[in-house]
Chains A and B, each alone.
Chain A
Amino acid sequence: MSLTSQIIQYFFTGLTVGSIYALVALGFTMIYNATGIINLAQGEFVMLGGLLMAFMILGPQIPLPIAFLIAILTVTLVGILFERLAIHPLPKASILTLIIMTLAGSILLRGVAMVLWGKDPYGFPEFVRGDPVQIFGATIQPQVFWILAITILVVFAVRFFFERTWIGKAMSACAFNPLAARLVGINVRFMVLLSFGLSAALGAIAGAMITPITLMEYDRGPLLALKGFAAAVLGGLGSGTGAIAAGFIIGVVESLGAGLISSGYKDALALLVLLFVLWVRPSGLLGSPEESELRKI
């Protein structure tokens, strides 16, 4: 394979994992905007989505679209329960306690997944079976196009939700100023619940899409969460558009680094980017320092 086709190959691989990071980052942003919490259990939503899909399709052979819906709904429910049972009872807790609480939630979910499904990785066939597409000598699996299409669709749906619907606007209002939002009659606690449900759903979608390509096992969550968080910070924590763009950037950089430099240090590369951005420009590459000051970082 020539260098050009190699680079194209890595680029598409990068876009694929980048979509996953983008969705995880969007989930982080949603919860962060509504509550100021970094939800360290975000990666577990992805893992649950993937494993639920795999077991519905491999076991009782539920048709893929139905399994997809069930997986999303189940994980959304998990997100809502998590907020109700773990975050809601601690209204006055410090940030430190809340972070540890989301950490506890992530271990709990990992523990449940391990008891239910064991430690082995699982996968299932691609959404639609078809021959790989050749682009300039690079071989692209059809699943890649599905992932890109669904991600773009989800991103536009989220945008529409926040900008055009009443509930979405109410959620943005809570992010901007919870007290003022309450004064105009918005139920802030409900919006917090909704943000956990929605970001769990985003995680489930990401997990369901990526599992046919990379397989999924119970302990995949923390690394996905870290890279998703890296994307959220790189995009300027709190900015949805920034998070998505940064997700794709991290995916592509990581994939090119793995292909052209060293695959062993692939994960370290994305994390070094995270540390570097945190140290040099904590407001993110795309966010402005003033804005992040407003967001109480």
Chain B
Amino acid sequence: MVMAIFIAAFPPLTGMNNYWVGILIFVGIHSMTTMGLSLLMGYAGQISLGHAAFYGIGAYSSGVLTTKFGIHPIGAFGFGILLSAAIAFLVGKPTLRLKGHYMAVATLGFGEIVFIFFNQLSSLTGGPSGLSDIPSLRIAGHPLEGKAYLYLVWAFVFLFLIFSLNLINSRMGRALRALHSSERAAGAMGVDASLCKLQVFILSAIYASMAGSLYAHYVTFISPSSFGLMFSILLLMMVVVGGTESIWGAMLGTAMLTLLPEYLRGLEDFEMLVYGAILTFSLLFMPHGVLEGARKLLIREEKEKAKDG
């Protein structure tokens, strides 16, 4: 089934123009981030309103280290992962003890603080006007562009997907699901709740950081405005609209919301209104996400057919 969806996700690539290649690259990069967020929300039951910060840390690690210090992109990539994991550990350890809304607000505050630092550390990050001339990735001297980059990004997506699905079906995944239904009962069975949550939080930060690095090398220009509160909310929306219950839901939501702005060309002023309306309606009418909603509709239809027959 995994392979089938993977192939279905790649319509005949030969006849595809650059416009669609670009969009699919973004769907891939966003998916890498939302997969981690989906693990955090759907399986660990924790909310994060600051994931754009980790995405930004990855992007700025790649951008700053390659342009200002001449470090190889792979080294910068690794540095971003380490930095994100370390920050996620430092922030997550005290924050994950907090419940529900405290967690939401703490991550929101964390995201804003990182955003302020991106703006203020202008000697490193270029400040509000951004950082340009980030080198594109090369293999043996050939720059990875267009479809080559698409394959690279989706290779990462595929790896993340396999890793995440394995994680869900591992001892850790079962522990997380137990935590989600009752923290006390899970604790009585010997599940270390705070350790589990912390591990997932760090993993989701690493996913986001890797996605951010790939983003920086693809667009070659980054500025703080791409990593603000609105992007954190957008990531959260992708997971919620698709469905927090499964990784597939997150991927579906990501694809839908990444494509949406393409259909809103010329209506940029209405973009935020549309996002707000989509989130509100999906919470009201499809609280378990589009994927689950569609599945329920199918089941209902089948039942009706069975009745008629």
Contacts and interface: CB of A to CB of B under 8 A. Distances in A.
B153 interface: no
Contacts of B109: 226, 230, 271, 274-275
Nearest to A267: B116
A40 B272 CA distance: 16
A95 to B, nearest CB: 4
Contacts, number: 125
Given A114-B273, A297-B99, A107 B112 contact: no
B102 A93 contact: no
B159 interface: no
**Chain B, interface SS category:** helix
Interface string A267-282: 1100110110011001
A265 B275 contact: no
Nearest to B108: A226
Interface in A76-131: 86, 89-90, 93, 95-97, 99-101, 103-112, 114-115, 118
A267 B228 CA distance: 14
Contacts of B100: 95-96, 99
A110 to B, nearest CB: 6
Interface residues of B, number: 41
Contacts of A107: 233, 272, 275-276, 279
A63 interface: no
Contact of A110 (B112, B113, B276, B280): B276
B284 A89 contact: yes
Contacts of A264: 116, 119-120
A142 interface: no
Given A104-B283, A268-B117, 4 more contacts: A96-B47, A111-B277, A112-B273, A278-B102
A-B pairs, 9 with minimum CB distance: A111-B273, A108-B276, A107-B276, A111-B272, A279-B94, A38-B101, A104-B279, A95-B100, A271-B109
Interface of A: 37-38, 40, 86, 89-90, 93, 95-97, 99-101, 103-112, 114-115, 118, 222-223, 226, 229-230, 233, 264-265, 267-268, 271-272, 274-275, 278-279, 282, 297
Interface of B: 41, 45, 47, 49, 94-95, 98-102, 104-106, 108-110, 112-113, 116-117, 119-120, 229, 233, 236, 240, 269-277, 279-280, 283-284, 287
